[in-house]
Amino acid sequence: MDMRKPVVVVGLLALTAVLAACDGGGDKGENGKAAQAALKQMRWYTPEQVAAGEKLYRENCASCHGADASGSANWREPDANGKFPPPPLNGSAHAWHHPKHMLRMTIKRGGIPIGGSMPPFGGKLDDDEIDAVIAWIQSHWNDEIYSAWARRNAQAALAGARK
Ligand code: HEC
């Protein structure tokens, strides 16, 4: 008896099912919405963290980075003292290039040790509060930016684990 045949048939059935699922036709909007909902669920933070972060951000960060995290329009140009204006944190600048541990470190230490002007928050916000602020900031990132960040973050975590 040819044992391979049932395997091929099952494989073909599975493939047909996958193709049928992809060929949503008029269903594309629904599939798109489901995909977006799935991506949202994959974010590391909870709505509670975002809400806590919003308050902390308003009190500690908004004066420089803007109430909506859009930063300064001229953030790429250093001023007369060679200091850079506060960049946007809403996903339009650099912040998404940094894995979570780097974002935490920037917020804790500020920018002064590396020649910048952002004050340190290590003595003012505890680790949970810093994570909540990061959650609020990331809630402004679209799915494309968030996934690009998540990839870098995972790579950094793997590299750290190998050390
Ligand atoms: C006094 C103004 C000021 C305040 C307040 C401030 N920042 Fe900043 N921030 C800056 C500046 C300026 C930079 C650019 C680096 C530098 O000069 O230190 C920066 C850089 C950053 C970066 C790095 C962005 C990137 O693209 O790499 C992050 C993240 C950040 N700030 C988050 C925060 C958070 C969160 C808070 C509140 C807890 C905060 N900042 C409060 C001025 C500020």
50-89 confidence digits (pLDDT tens): 999 999 999 999 999 999 999 999 999 999 999 999 999 9
Shortest-distance Cα residue to atom 32 of ligand 1: 107
Neighbours of 63 (CB within 10 A): 10
Question: What's the average model confidence in pLDDT over 142-153?
Answer: 95
Query: Under a CB-based contact definition with an 8 Å cutoff, are residues 119 and 146 in contact?
Result: no
**pLDDT value of residue 62:** 98
Of 4 and 103, which is predicted with more confidence? 103
Neighbours of 125 (CB within 10 A): 19
Proportion of the chain above pLDDT 70, given as a percent = 81
pLDDT surpasses 60 at 130 = yes
Given ligand 1 and candidates 83, 118, 136, which is best to mutate, with the most ligand atoms within 8 Å of its CB?
118
pLDDT surpasses 50 at 113 = yes
Q: Which residues does 28 contact at the CB level (< 8 Å), separation at least 6? A: none
- pLDDT one-digit tens code per residue, 42-56: 899 999 999 999 999
Pocket lined around ligand 1, Cβ cut-off 6 Å: 60-61, 63-65, 83-84, 86-87, 89, 93-95, 98, 103, 106-107, 111, 116-119, 121, 133
CA distance 9 to 3: 11
